[in-house]
Structure 1
Amino acid sequence: MMTDERRGFFAEPDPSDHTGSGSGATPPEEGQNKASGGVAPAPGSVPSAPRVHDRRHASRHVDAEEPIDPEVALAKSQKEAAEHLDDLRRLKAEFENYRKRVLREQTHVVERASRQLVERLLPILDNFELALIAADRTKDYEALVRGVEIVFGELSDLLHKEGLQKIEALGKPFDPTMHEAVLEVGDGPAEGDPVVAEVVRNGYTLKGKVVRPAMVKVVRR
């Protein structure tokens, strides 16, 4: 029969006793975490610092929501508008000066080119005048014709060097961009293609551009 002393040795431990070494004992730190409703930090981790309300941030937020004075905003807008207007006026003045400068340069270029052409025409004009004087003195009209032919050749050579070309129209198909038809001659078929039959007045191109179309008579073939 088991004695009372031995029954006391095998008796179960009291659950209310937290100081025992059994597995049911709870560490003091864990008890504090549970009491405060938090989570126990991991072993070896550093606890985070408590959050503190930043009053300066709140102050800036309040300032940003403050209404803007309408008079201040109007004065600022008027100042910006005046600055933009000054910029536009300055740009307009600069563009006007640029336009005048370009116009002067173009005028000088044209005047210089015209002067060079006139200087090259003067010898031809002198020869023409000499031919007329000689014909008046001698009454030799054959000499006058030869003089005019010489002057005409000199003038043609000069204009050719400047880029002037005569439009070759006789016998060519009619081209409305190069020819100007003044009359249709002959009894060709009405559905035939027009061809230049006679040149009434020569046409010319200057550096590839038509300055005067050739005046022609056409016939259908």
Structure 2
Amino acid sequence: MKDKNKKENNPVETTEENVNETAAENGKETVELTEIEKLKQENAELRDLLLRKVAEFENYKKRKDTEVTEFVKYSAEKIIKELIPVYNDLDRSLHSVNKGETKDLDTLKQGLELVYQKFSNVLENEGLKEIDVMGKAFDVNTSDALMQVPKEVAPNTVVEVVEKGYMLKDKVIKHAKVLVSA
């Protein structure tokens, strides 16, 4: 009879075990669902953050493009402002000559020399320098030889400057046009 009681107890124990197992599984499923929901929420937050960062970067690129365009558009403003007084002086000189107010060539020459000096100062302040090549060995980095001429100096020496050459700071922006000895 004890065996029979054991058998009877077993189904009860088994049923309790089944209930406990089912409850444990449901608890695990609830924990798993909660974990999945948390991960989904975190994923949504990260996706939202990514989209905002992408939008911020696109706005940044547009803003920088606009700034660069504006910079290029007005990059000559500083030099233009410095050249306006020289331009005005030349304009006054021409009007003076055209109206017949300046009949004395010496006065006109002095006026033009002053305008030239102003203009030279503006260019020098911006970093423009004349390239000194006269009497020096010909250098293809600073000069263009127009022709060779017979002279009593060392071959390939610059003997005449037809057009001056210029450097802007440390960069050659216009080669001198020269004649060199043969």
TM-score over 0.5 for the pair: yes
Higher helix share: 2
Q: Does 1:207 align with 2:145?
A: no
- Alpha-carbon shift at residue 207 of structure 1 (Å): 1.2
- What does residue 103 of structure 1 align with? 65
Q: Does 1:195 align with 2:150?
A: no
Q: Distance in 1 between matches of 2:180 and 2:62?
A: 49
Contact 1:135 1:141 in 2 (8 A): no
- 1:170 aligned partner, one-letter code: M
- Alpha-carbon shift at residue 120 of structure 1 (Å): 1.4
Distance change (3 Å), C-alpha of 1:105 and 1:196: same
The within-5 A match list for 1:65-80 is: none
Q: Distance in 1 between matches of 2:132 and 2:56?
A: 50
- 2:138 aligned partner, one-letter code: F
The within-5 A match list for 1:1-221 is: 98-136=60-98, 137-138=100-101, 139-186=103-150, 193-220=155-182
Aligned sequence identity (%)? 35
Give unpaired runs (5+ residues) of structure 1: 1-86
Q: Distance in 2 between matches of 1:178 and 1:209?
A: 10
Q: How many residues align?
A: 133
SS at match of 1:210: strand
Compute the TM-score of the two structures, normalised by the length of structure 2. 0.61
Contact 1:205 1:212 in 2 (8 A): yes
Contact 1:195 1:219 in 2 (8 A): yes
How big is the alpha-carbon RMSD for the aligned residues of Structure 1 and Structure 2? 3.0
- Alpha-carbon shift at residue 153 of structure 1 (Å): 0.6
Deviation readout 1:139-196 (Å, 9 max, x if unpaired): 333322221111111000001001111111111111101101111111679xx64111
Distance change (3 Å), C-alpha of 1:181 and 1:97: farther
SS at match of 2:157: strand
- What does residue 29 of structure 1 align with? none
The structure with the largest alpha-carbon Rg is 1
Q: Distance in 1 between matches of 2:129 and 2:64?
A: 31
- Alpha-carbon shift at residue 104 of structure 1 (Å): 2.4
- 1:205 aligned partner, one-letter code: M
Distance change (3 Å), C-alpha of 1:193 and 1:186: closer
**Greater relative contact order (Cα 8 A, min sep 6): structure 1 or 2?**
2
Deviation readout 1:76-99 (Å, 9 max, x if unpaired): xxxxxxxxxxx8xx96x7776554
Q: Distance in 1 between matches of 2:109 and 2:147?
A: 31
- 2:118 aligned partner, one-letter code: E
SS at match of 1:174: coil
- 1:183 aligned partner, one-letter code: M
Q: Distance in 2 between matches of 1:166 and 1:122?
A: 22
